Amino acid sequence: MTEDGYLSRSIGETLVRLIGFAVIDLPRNVEHELQKALENETAEIAKEQLKAILKNIQVARKKHVPMCQDTGILMFHLRVGEDFPLKAGLRELITESVREATSRALLRPNAVHPLNRTNSGDNTGSGVPFLELELVQGDTLEVEVYPKGAGSENMSALRMLNPGEGIKGLKRFVLETVVGSGGKPCPPTVIGIGVGLCADGVMKLARKASMRPLPHRSKDPTVEALERELLSMVNETGIGPMGLGGRTTALTVNIETGYTHTAELPVGIIFQCWAARRGSARIHASGRAEYLSHEV
Amino acid sequence: MEYRIKTPVSEEQVRRLRAGDMISIDGLMFTARDAAHERALELARRGETPPFSFEGLAMFHCGPIAQRTDHDWTIISAGPTTSSRMEMFESDFLEKFKVRIIVGKGGMGTKTTEAMRKVGAVYCAFTGGAGALAAAAVRRVTGVEWLDLGMPEALWKMEVERFGPLIVAIDAHGNNLYEVVAANVKENFSRLLKQI
């Protein structure tokens, strides 16, 4: 086999394994936050929901099955080293790994044509899996995979606020969106908020915020204070786990910002359900894979 | 205290349940989402019947991950989907097909609540995302229909044992737990808006 052939095969195998880790084994930090939420709840129904979530996480690990049947649309973020020997064909490798994971029943076939709703049967189609590439220094390839379910994604919101509405307007928009979503995004959620840039840019910021690993706060003190304030407000709504009432509506609120036009104040919101699934790995030029998100 | 309910279940039995009760299900259950609701109602409009009778059964708003093993199917993961998407179909569905228990997540609206009171049916909340836990309660798949709609949208017929925990969130007497929560949330929301 050629060196490129060997490397491709190694990347492919790593990707399928990574998808498996992501859908089966919830990161320990998320589980820890859910455990803390259970200790903080007083209402019986809220506690039952969190207990079922925690038990489900254990069952999924033990039986080696996806924790949630909605394994989502697969999103990949790739950081490709300038000196990494293989660049062409990465999209094909990723698409193939998604097909393989689907055939192994790690993924439910979710991808459909947006208008005629025909299901491709293998989680692939035009633009799917969703892929973001970044060229970085170095000779390794870093891959992150996020299976994103529809329950939380359907609650996404964008508003081009009037700059005069300011932070007050932002808080109101966030509260309105959270209250309007109720139990639909499978709370307790991670709420990702983007502020700034432009209409599509702000949604990218919101996406990034929704994917920030728990329990990290923004390094910007102004933003950090706003994250804390919004989290406490969201949890005072009383929506609770699964919208059945309680103290924990969100595990965290994360905000990412960027500069914007003087006449604009874009705000985007993307929810991540309690199953904040992810998998990441670093692949070396030799083909050796280091799993970053999961212990192997 | 958890009540165990065996399906098929009678109208009289489900009318005994009250919002807030915790139950689990034994017996027959089938899955149906948006596309299956639409198709079943379309068949009914044409005077035709669905592939099996839904009467007295538990219907699960769920699109499972299923795996084919030789001649059988295995349910791998099967948590609830967002029930409000079915609100547009459910009152008609309940009246036509007499499903007695609906299992889903996120709750349903006033039209469904009213139909449940009239027909005699309850809505139960199963914890969203708990797909592995749900699959563990599935004893076997007894059939699948309408696979042409895709794996998530097909009608999966299964035998379950102690399927739960389920919270009766809408009972057959017009009580809706989600409305109670919503009233409380509305109050909190107005208070929070004033603090901004």
Query: What DSSP element (H or E) covers B194?
Result: helix B177-195
**Residues of A whose CB is below 8 A from B175:** none
Q: Is the peptide bond before A188 cis (omega within 30 degrees of 0)?
A: yes
Closest-CA residue of A relative to B190 is A237
**Residues of A whose CB is below 8 A from B62:** 69
Give the contacts of B22 (CB within 8 A, at least 6 positions apart): A48, B1, B2, B3, B164, B165, B166, B167, B168
Instruction: Give the single-character DSSP code of A227.
Output: H
Mind telling me how many Å the CA of B130 is from chain A's nearest CA? 5
| Whether B173 is catalytic | no
Q: Which of A108, A201, A109, A96 is nearest to A158 (CA)?
A: A201
Average pLDDT over residues B90-96: 98
Give the contacts of B144 (CB within 8 A, at least 6 positions apart): B66, B73, B154, B155, B156, B157
pLDDT digits (tens, 9 = 90+) for A82-100: 999 987 899 999 999 999 9
Local confidence band at A242 (pLDDT 50, 70, 90 cut-offs): very high
Optimal mutation site among A69, A148, A230, A277, interface B, most CBs of chain B within 10 A: A69
B84: domain CATH number is 3.20.130.10
Q: Name which of A114-118, B121-125, B130-134 the model is least confident about.
A: A114-118
Contact A69 B177 (CB under 8 A): no
Contact A69 B63 (CB under 8 A): yes
Q: Is the pLDDT of residue A3 over 80?
A: no
As a whole number of Å, the CA-based R_g of chain B is 17
pLDDT of residue B70: 86
**Residues of B whose CB is below 8 A from A233:** 192, 195
Contact B66 A105 (CB under 8 A): yes
**Residues of B whose CB is below 8 A from A156:** none
pLDDT of residue A5: 85
Give the contacts of A11 (CB within 8 A, at least 6 positions apart): A86, A90, A93, A141, A283, A287
Residue A121, amino acid: G
Indicate the burial class of B68 (C-beta count within 10 angstroms; 0-12, 13-18, 19 or more). Answer: exposed
Contact A182 B185 (CB under 8 A): yes
Measured over the CA atoms of residue A197, residue A199, residue A200 and residue A205, the dihedral's sign is positive
Q: Which of B36, B1, B13 is nearest to B121 (CA)?
A: B13
Q: Is the pLDDT of residue A195 over 80?
A: yes
Contact B130 A243 (CB under 8 A): no
pLDDT digits (tens, 9 = 90+) for A126-140: 999 999 999 999 999
Size of interface A-B (CB pairs under 8 A): 171
pLDDT of residue A286: 93
d(CA A151, CA A119): 18
Split into its structural domains, chain B has a count of: 1
Domain that holds residue B181: 2-195
